Amino acid sequence: MRSTTSTQTAETPTSVRPPRHVAIIMDGNNRWAKKRGLPRGAGHKAGVESVRRILEACAEQGVEVLTLFAFSSENWRRPQAEVSTLMSLLLNALKREVKRLNKNNIRLRVIGNRDRFSEAIQKHMAEAEKLTANNSQFTVVIAADYGGQWDILQATQKIAAMVVSGELQLSDINTEVIQSKIAIGDLPAPDLCIRTGGEQRISNFLLWQMAYTELYFTDILWPDFGKDEFLKALQDYRSRDRRFGRTSDTDTAKC
């Protein structure tokens, strides 16, 4: 997979190719369960099925990277019972779903602060990444205990340490240096971010990486979000005129 920096171009019209990188904020699991009189955990379990459907759709559509916002830094504040359910689901996914990913030649990467996870979860995260490291169908990124502000902070801390050690001069710091230290900075920046569940905000997700990302919001709750809804989002994306700060193609020559 070709690496890229945050600098993007509009040389190829989006109408003739799928987004290389799709990011999804999977919202609505709790409301889905509440509507059915079910415990919150049932909504999260149903959400896992949606992940499977979207993984299949990404492979069919030629998407290169899928990043899923699975657990934010703020989600630790949720009721303890719900957090425990989410941790159990995450551990089971790392044990079982990774085998499915590997079988289908899909690479897994995990981004976020792993320190607060149990030793068992951290161990399985590392093993899953190692097992799938050479797979090439496409890459799925799981953002767990992740926040965009945390991501920028950890990148700047690494850069500051390099300056203190003399490895890097203050005058050498630029967007490319920050990009190299940011999570998934070696992957294409997200072309499209989908948020399910009706809310219209990005909730501290991939703040640096989504500088030019197209945003798509839908009222569909995550457990009900399937291939048809995903294709609607891709079709909407293809209708966008992505300028990356430029004027339209017809006006470019006048700039």
Q: Is 75 a catalytic residue?
A: yes
CA-nearest of 202, 209, 160, 149 to 184 is 209
Collect contacts of 170-176 with beta carbons under 8 A, ≥24 apart. Answer: 175/5, 175/6, 175/7, 176/5
User: Strand, helix or coil at 109?
Assistant: strand
Q: Exactly one of 75, 113, 135, 204 is catalytic; which is it?
A: 75
Q: What's the CA gap between 173 and 194, in Å, rounded? A: 32
Q: Exactly one of 27, 145, 151, 191 is catalytic; which is it?
A: 27
Q: What's the CA gap between 26 and 30, in Å, rounded? A: 11
The backbone region for 213, taken as left when phi is positive above 0, alpha when psi lies in -120 to 50, beta otherwise, is beta
User: At residue 112, what is the residue type?
Assistant: G
Integer Rg of the chain from CA: 19
Q: Is 236 a catalytic residue?
A: no
CB atoms within 10 A of CB 42: 18
* Residues catalogued as catalytic: 27, 75
